[in-house]
Chains A and B, each alone.
Chain A
Amino acid sequence: MSAAAGGPARPGAAWALPGALFFLVFAVVPLLLVGYLSLTSWEGLGAPRFTGAQNWVRLAGDPVMRQAVVLSAALTAATWLVQTPISLLLGVWAAGPQRNRAVLSAVFFTPLLFSSAAVAIVWKTLLDPNFGPITRVGPWLGLPDANVLGSSAGAFLAVVFVSAWQFIPLHTLIYQGGARQIPAVLYGAAEIDGAGRFRRFWHVTLPQLRHTITTSSVLMVVGALTYFETVLILTQGGPGTDTSIVPYLMYRVGFAGYEMGYASAIAATLVVAATGVSLLLVRFTGFAAMRSTREGM
Chain B
Amino acid sequence: MRRPAPARAGTARPARRRPRAPRRPNWLAGTGALLWLLVVGLPVYVLLVASVRPREGYLSEGPLTPPADPTLDNYVGAVRNGFLTFVANTAVVTVAVAALVVVLAVPVGYAVVRARGRWAGGVLRFFLLGLAIPAQAVVIPVYLIIRELGLYDTLAAIILPTAAFALPVCVLILTGSMRDISEDLYEAMALDGAGSVRTFLRLVVPLSRPGIATVATYASLQAWNGLLFPLILTQSRDQRVITLGLFEFQGQYRVDIPGMLAAVALSAVPILILYLVARRSLVNGLMGVGGK
- Give me the interface of A with B, judged by CB distance under 8 Å: 1-4, 7-13, 15-16, 18-20, 22-23, 25-31, 33-34, 37, 86, 89-90, 93-94, 96-97, 101, 104, 107-108, 110-118, 121-123, 125-126, 131-133, 136, 165, 168-171, 173-178, 180-181, 183-184, 187-188, 191, 197, 211-212, 215-216, 219, 221-222, 225-226, 228-229, 232-233, 247, 250-251, 254-255, 260, 263-264, 267-268, 270-271, 274-275, 277-279, 281-282, 287-288, 290-292, 294-295, 297
C-alpha gap A123/B133 in the complex (Å):
27
C-alpha gap A101/B32 in the complex (Å):
13
Q: Is the interface of B mostly helix, strand, loop or mixed?
A: helix
The answer to whether the Cβ of B142 comes within 8 Å of any Cβ in the partner chain is yes
Asked if B124 contacts A30 (CB within 8 A), the reply is: no
Q: With a CB–CB cut-off of 8 A, which chain B residues contact A233?
A: 247, 250
The answer to whether the Cβ of B105 comes within 8 Å of any Cβ in the partner chain is yes
What would 8 A/B residue contacts be, using CB atoms closer than 8 Å? A10-B114, A23-B130, A33-B141, A97-B20, A212-B290, A251-B228, A274-B133, A292-B179
* B285 CB to nearest A CB, Å: 10
C-alpha gap A107/B59 in the complex (Å):
28
Q: With a CB–CB cut-off of 8 A, which chain A residues contact B71?
A: none
* CB within 8 Å for A117 and B227 given contacts A34-B138, A278-B133: yes
The answer to whether the Cβ of B84 comes within 8 Å of any Cβ in the partner chain is no
* A110 CB to nearest B CB, Å: 5
Q: Is the interface of A mostly helix, strand, loop or mixed?
A: helix
* CB within 8 Å for A184 and B18 given contacts A16-B111, A34-B137, A275-B129: yes
- Give me the interface of B with A, judged by CB distance under 8 Å: 2-3, 6-7, 9-10, 15-20, 26, 29, 32-33, 36-37, 39-41, 43-44, 46-47, 50, 58-59, 62-64, 100, 104-105, 107-108, 110-112, 114-116, 119-120, 123-124, 126-142, 144-145, 160-161, 163-165, 167-168, 171-173, 175-177, 179-180, 183, 186-187, 189-190, 193-196, 199-200, 224-225, 227-228, 232, 242-244, 246-247, 249-250, 257, 260-261, 264, 267-268, 271-272, 275, 283, 286-292
